[in-house]
Amino acid sequence: METNPRAPARLVPAAILAVGLAALGTALVAQFGFGLQPCHLCLIERVPYGVAAILAAVALAHRTARVRRTLVGLCAAAFAINAMIAFYHVGVEHHWWKAATCDTSTAQDSGAALTIEALNRAIEHPHEVPCDVVQWSLFGLSIAGYNGLASLALAFACAGAVLRSQWWGKT
């Protein structure tokens, strides 16, 4: 049985689309299913997955291998940018530096009396989750740490796919 050497020209964008949708789905399940509230940086880290999924969908719909290859290269860039954002977030979590775009942890007054006015203010201006608080970790790595590693691996995988010229044919 012969295999088509250009089959990855369709499989690679399909895999990127699946990974992007799975990552976004996992983030939503963690948020709404397990109550892990995202901070500002967590929300920013979702964007490159959406961008990569859209680029991959466009690549799947396009007939030209050259365009597909270019879009996969853009996916590599999106994942590389996400790895940088995630590792920046890890630095914020470990207090190596302060986040420029989000709140950092503040002491909450647990003994404060709850009044109707305080509840109304809390509803109108909800407390933003601080970026330097780790809500979940496994083996010492937070979600941002795992996201950074996954994004870095995805960036290298996409770049490696782009460099495999036999997959794309004449471009």
Dump pLDDT digits (tens) for 82-111.
999 999 988 888 888 877 766 655 444 444
Q: What are the pLDDT digits (tens) for 40-89?
A: 888 899 999 999 999 999 999 988 888 888 999 999 999 999 999 999 98
**Domain chopping of the chain, boundaries:** 8-100+130-168
The pTM of this model reads 0.79
pLDDT at 171: 46
Alpha carbon separation from 61 to 17, 67, 91, 110, 155 (Å, rounded): 12, 10, 39, 54, 22
Fold of 8-100+130-168: Bromodomain-like (1.20.1550)
